């Protein structure tokens, strides 16, 4: 179960990380930031779901280990 929540956490972090600059770019170009806002909300939802489903939750110090575990799983 922890590997699924690890992947969900990393996916949420990537979505939120990509959504923030997209939001500001859309705002600066006077376009609708709907897609960027949706990415941020989905990313936050993935992070929250992974945190709630992982036994004991995640700490801030766990995040780098989780990211490298997920990357290592695909390499």
CA angle 36, 42, 46 (to 5 degrees): 145
Q: Domain span at residue 14?
A: 2-74
pLDDT tens digits, residue range 14-68?
999 999 999 999 999 999 999 999 999 999 999 999 999 998 889 999 999 999 9
- Please state, in angstroms and as integers, the Cα–Cα distance from residue 43 to each residue in 10, 67, 71, following that order: 9, 15, 18
In the predicted model, is pLDDT for residue 3 greater than 70? no
Domains contained in the chain, number: 1
Give pTM, 2 decimals: 0.87
Half-sphere exposure of 3 (CA within 13 A, CB side): 6
Dihedral sign, CA of 49, 44, 4, 52? negative
In this structure, what token pair is assigned to residue 47? 């992070």
């Amino acid at each position: 179960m922890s590997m699924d929540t690890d992947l969900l956490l990393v996916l949420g972090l990537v979505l939120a990380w990509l959504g923030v600059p997209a939001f500001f770019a859309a705002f600066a170009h006077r376009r609708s930031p709907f897609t960027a806002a949706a990415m941020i909300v989905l990313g936050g939802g993935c992070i929250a779901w992974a945190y709630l489903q992982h036994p004991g939750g995640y700490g801030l110090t766990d995040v780098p280990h989780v990211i490298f575990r997920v990357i290592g799983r695909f390499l």
